[in-house]
């Protein structure tokens, strides 16, 4: 028995839109006449805000397949189009708007069938209660999700939103002993690079020379306050990332310490993380950002009191249980999530700079930020950014008692701007408004 009713399907492109009606006919949609053509029916579509914007933002209810995907497949990304969803579901990719419209219902059925097949797995233990709560707040997918889970009469369950009760607790471990100071030789760096590239890789002598040159930065220092510094530059396509990861990973392995790789942009952080996947098994790599990039459970709890946030927070709850690190910006929360529900929501549930109460927080033992910090203490490579590294320099370690002794600064030409921001004091209207809120409260 199909889970979905006979809903129309709506797809909009640049300058043209198509509506697949109940009888299977594909008709052109004219901006300003969408509501009339729908006749009160609730259409299936992909990315409601973008689709409706192209049609003049009509006030109509929709069933957005991206919301269903976020519930069924949390912490997974895709291109927010019918073609992108088809690729994610390994279905035939539509080539025209008409093909895309005809595929929306089968894709929705495929998602609901996937949910039904996994209804008994631990990850879906609280899914019915959560969907019912979202349904009480007006989520259109709720009855179909509950039917797929085999619990059409499930009641709203507030416990499903209490992430601090469900997330694993982190544990404090003994401090890591100081690292040794064995050097990395040029030959070792070249050999490690060759291993990372594999036997089929194109031979690039410049990349091997680069890896050899940067080993000087990993030599033991002769006096306190006199580190070895290497300024290395190479052209585009040289393979700089693996060029410095080879000696860095060797130093971490030989000395039982961490090398921090710092970059300016989030995008390059993720790119380096992908390249680090070539490192030998057992190499622990952790990506770290500033606290304001991560989900704050206390702010999440505060937002739960706002009824209009029930649907997006329900999807955030699903994501948080599946997320690798709780990173709201540039992590495994899809970028289109903020487009569906607004960027302001994510800012409200993220940690805010200077506001964390640390051990005084009732959710401290389940805090995703504290878990990332502790994972980084045990890592071989920590992929950070200039802002975080400079903040640590300002505060003498910031969240960590242990300050690294080996750094690699990628995008090094941005270090000066990052240092200016970290070591400067800015007095602005926004800062004063934030101080007023702190002193008088939101209603002051």
- 291/434 same-domain check: yes
pTM summary value: 0.88
| Residue 43 half-sphere exposure toward CB, CA atoms < 13 A | 28
How far is it, in rounded angstroms, from Cα 390 to Cα 264?
11
- 368/326 same-domain check: yes
The answer to whether position 142 is within a domain reads no
Q: What is the pLDDT of residues 74-111, one digit of tens each?
A: 999 999 999 999 999 999 999 999 999 999 999 999 99
HEC string of 359-418 equals HHCCCHHHCHHHHHHHHHHCCCEEEEEHHHHHHHHHHCCCCCCCCCCEEEECCHHHHHHH
- 275/249 same-domain check: no
- 267/289 same-domain check: yes
- How many domains does one find in the chain? 3
Last residue of a domain, one of 83, 102, 117: 117
**209: domain range?**
180-255
- 246/269 same-domain check: no
Last residue of a domain, one of 222, 255, 288: 255
How far is it, in rounded angstroms, from Cα 338 to Cα 342?
5
The answer to whether position 54 is within a domain reads yes
Last residue of a domain, one of 94, 117, 140: 117
The answer to whether position 201 is within a domain reads yes
- Profile the chain (444 residues) by mean pLDDT over runs of 10 residues: 75 91 86 86 95 90 97 96 97 95 96 95 95 96 96 91 93 87 94 92 90 95 89 89 96 95 91 93 93 95 93 98 93 95 93 86 95 92 93 67 85 90 82 82 63
How far is it, in rounded angstroms, from Cα 343 to Cα 92?
32
Q: With CA atoms as reference, report the closest residue to 314 among 71, 150, 93.
A: 71
- 81/199 same-domain check: no
The answer to whether position 165 is within a domain reads no
Between strands 17-20 and 9-12, the pairing is: antiparallel
What are 438's two structure tokens?
Answer: 């702190």
- 246/349 same-domain check: no
Q: What is the pLDDT of residues 28-56, one digit of tens each?
A: 988 788 888 888 899 999 999 999 999 98
In this structure, the number of other CB atoms found within 10 A of the CB of residue 128 comes to: 24
16 Cβ neighbours under 8 A, 6+ residues apart: 28, 97
The answer to whether position 320 is within a domain reads yes
């Amino acid at each position: 028995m199909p889970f979905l009713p006979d809903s129309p399907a709506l797809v909009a492109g640049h300058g043209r839109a198509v509506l697949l009606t109940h009888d299977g006919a594909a008709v052109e949609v004219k901006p300003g006449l969408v509501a009339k053509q729908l006749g009160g029916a609730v259409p299936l579509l992909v990315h409601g805000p973008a689709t409706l914007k192209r049609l003049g933002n009509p006030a109509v209810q929709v069933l957005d397949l991206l919301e269903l995907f976020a519930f069924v497949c949390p912490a997974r990304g895709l291109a927010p189009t019918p073609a992108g969803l088809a690729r994610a579901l390994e279905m035939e990719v539509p080539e025209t708007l008409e093909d895309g419209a005809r595929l929306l219902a089968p894709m929705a059925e495929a998602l609901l069938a996937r949910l039904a097949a996994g209804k008994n797995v631990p990850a879906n233990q609280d899914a019915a209660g959560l969907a019912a709560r979202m349904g009480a707040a007006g989520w259109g997918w709720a009855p179909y999700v509950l039917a797929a889970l085999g619990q059409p009469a499930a009641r709203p369950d507030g416990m499903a939103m209490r992430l601090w009760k469900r997330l694993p607790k982190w544990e404090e471990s003994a401090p890591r002993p100081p690292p040794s100071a064995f050097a990395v030789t040029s030959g070792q760096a070249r050999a490690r690079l060759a291993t990372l590239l594999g036997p089929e890789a194109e031979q690039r002598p410049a990349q091997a020379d680069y890896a050899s040159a940067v080993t000087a930065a990993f030599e033991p220092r002769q006096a306190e306050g006199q580190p070895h510094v290497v300024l290395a530059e190479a052209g585009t396509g040289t393979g700089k990332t693996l060029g410095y990861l080879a000696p860095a990973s060797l130093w971490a392995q030989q000395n039982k310490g961490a090398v921090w790789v710092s970059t300016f942009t989030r995008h390059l952080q993720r790119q380096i993380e992908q390249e680090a996947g070539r490192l030998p098994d057992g190499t622990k790599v952790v990506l770290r950002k500033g606290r304001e990039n991560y989900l704050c459970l206390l702010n999440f709890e505060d937002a739960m009191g706002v009824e209009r946030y029930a649907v997006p927070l329900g999807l955030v709850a699903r994501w948080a249980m599946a997320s690798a690190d709780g990173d709201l910006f540039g992590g495994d929360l899809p970028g289109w999530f903020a487009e569906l529900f607004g960027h302001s929501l994510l800012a409200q549930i993220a940690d805010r700079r200077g506001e964390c109460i640390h051990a005084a927080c009732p959710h401290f033992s389940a805090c995703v930020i504290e878990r990332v910090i502790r994972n980084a203490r045990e890592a071989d490579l920590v992929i950070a950014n200039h802002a975080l590294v400079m903040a640590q320099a300002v505060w003498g370690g910031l969240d960590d008692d242990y300050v690294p002794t080996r750094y690699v600064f990628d995008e090094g030409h941005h270090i000066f701007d990052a240092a200016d921001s970290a070591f400067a004091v800015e007095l602005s209207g926004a800062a004063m408004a934030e101080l007023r809120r702190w002193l008088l409260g939101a209603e002051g």
